[in-house]
Amino acid sequence: MAVDESIAASLGDVRGRVSTEQSLAPRSWFRVGGPAECLFQPADADDLATALRRIAPEIPVTALGACSNIIIRDGGIPGLVIRLGGAFAKIEQDGDGLIVGGAALDVTVAETAASLGLGGLEFLVGIPGSIGGGVRMNAGAYGSDMAAVLDWAEIVSRDGTLMRLETSALRFGYRRSALSDGAIVVRARLRGEPANPATVSARLAEIRSAREESQPVRARTGGSTFRNPEPEISDMKAWQLIDAAGCRGLKLGGAQISEKHCNFMLNTGDATAEDLEALGEEVRRRVREKTGVSLHWEIKRMGLRASGAKGEKA
């Protein structure tokens, strides 16, 4: 029995959808990457927990959300790949806040909050991702972040335990949290504040307009490529350092640094994951050489290189 078939068989009678060697490129915003060795789309949190309890500890498990801020390498992702579907995209009002599924899109959450007269979540309309990924990386934009609005998150751990974590347990930092690699966010409560729906909607329109003007939102991209350095390292933002190093518009194969916003990489049409990652590393090299600052990836890179050699963890 092939390894992928063995993983699928070990899941047993799960209620979700199981497939092997499923292409992941169409799911990625960059539209690049190889297949999932075994892809599982659970029916609900209990189904997910059951699957994780059955998978041997040595089998790698990777959770994918909206795939907006990742590079899936050309050799694909080994082990079990979990993709949360529609059952995890529910959004419900809960007093002055929302209870949202891990697969709910940030933009949909922001729009729902506006329609319900809840303010404080407008920043989510400027983040191209899902709530689960947003909690994991403490996603933020336009003056706020997940740490400022999260009350709790429900996760399923690698061993299949479903638990609720308060915000303090997540130990949020800039674009990071203390969630372990195997933990999957299935639900969260976001805190809002009563507001005039028209006022909130106007703020959403303002953020959308600002994003449209400054970012290549209609291109095949992955959002911000590098984290801004800590203030004690540099008072320049990542895009300013990239620009100063002469990398605006830089190309490698089918990958290019955006002319519009140079902390965005683009797939101009025929890029490979290797093109994108190599371009990012070349930018890092040039910035370090020019400014002395080492940029750190914000985009996650995962899976195997085309040669089959396992790449570094993001």
Active centre residues (catalytic): 175, 224, 298
Neighbours of 102 (CB within 10 A): 27
As a whole number of angstroms, the distance between CA 162 and CA 153 comes to: 11
Residues near 281 by beta carbon (within 8 Å), at least 6 away in sequence: none
Instruction: Tell me how far apart the alpha carbons of residues 67 and 267 are, in angstroms, rounded to a whole number.
Output: 15
Angle between helices 197-214 and 106-115 (to 10 degrees): 150
Query: Looking up tokens 């969630």, which residue turns up?
Result: 179
Cα dihedral 239, 235, 314, 217 sign: negative
The single residue listed with the structure tokens 């095949």 is 220
DSSP bridge pairs for 171: none
Angle (nearest 5°) at CA 66 between 237 and 20: 130
* The two structure tokens encoding residue 28: 């990625």
Residue 159's nearest CA partner among 81, 20, 48, 78 is 48
